[in-house]
Amino acid sequence: MILTIDVHYKEKYAKAVGVLFSFQNISKKEVIVEKINDVKEYVPGQFYKRELPCLLQIIERIDLEKIEVIIVDGHIYIDNDKNFGLGGHLWSALKEKIPIIGVAKRSFFNNHKTVIPVLRGKSKNPLYISSVGIDVEDASELIKNMEGDYRIPDILKELDQITKSE
């Protein structure tokens, strides 16, 4: 199983969503939603401190023995020196047992050595793929070959829509 997770911040709370699916039968999926009232304030340069606790609340509800890889909306590394971003901190929190793939819509100024730009559909704007615990080339191919005709794979677009809905 693959787990993709994301968080959307509302005025007084956060909504974390996880979608479990397999590449063999992507139409059969499980959606997990968690409302989080105690959200930390955003601190510039330390976004993971706000987002990571929300992601972990979703992960606590899942049998991690069944998870092959986790996909997050964001970067594994924030720079070419491999300082962790959200995905890297998640990998550490999970005791480096589950590979993490980061899918970001923008690259950071100084992380071009840790991402692979992937063009999907007819878009001229790439997704920036990074990974830990799985080869970044393999992670990029996985994201490139996900279902969907557009820049964002269908399952990730669906996750985003669920996360932002009331």
Mean pLDDT by 10 residues, the chain (166 residues): 95 93 82 91 76 95 96 95 96 97 92 95 95 98 94 95 91
pLDDT the model gives residue 109: 80
**Single pTM value for the model:** 0.94
pLDDT the model gives residue 156: 95
Instruction: Provide the residue range defining the domain that includes 79.
Output: 2-164
Alpha carbon distance 100, 72 (integer Å): 7
Q: Hey, is 14 helix, strand or coil?
A: strand
Strand partners, 128: 104, 117
Nearest in space to 126 (alpha carbons), one of 152, 146, 145: 152
Could you tell me where the beta strands, DSSP code E, fall in the chain? 2-9, 14-21, 30-36, 69-73, 100-104, 116-118, 127-132
Distance of CA 44 to the CA centre of its chain: 20
Q: What is the CATH number for 86?
A: 3.30.2170.10
pLDDT the model gives residue 58: 97
Q: Tell me how many domains the chain contains.
A: 1
CB 48 within 8 A of CB 89: yes
Q: Hey, is 93 helix, strand or coil?
A: helix
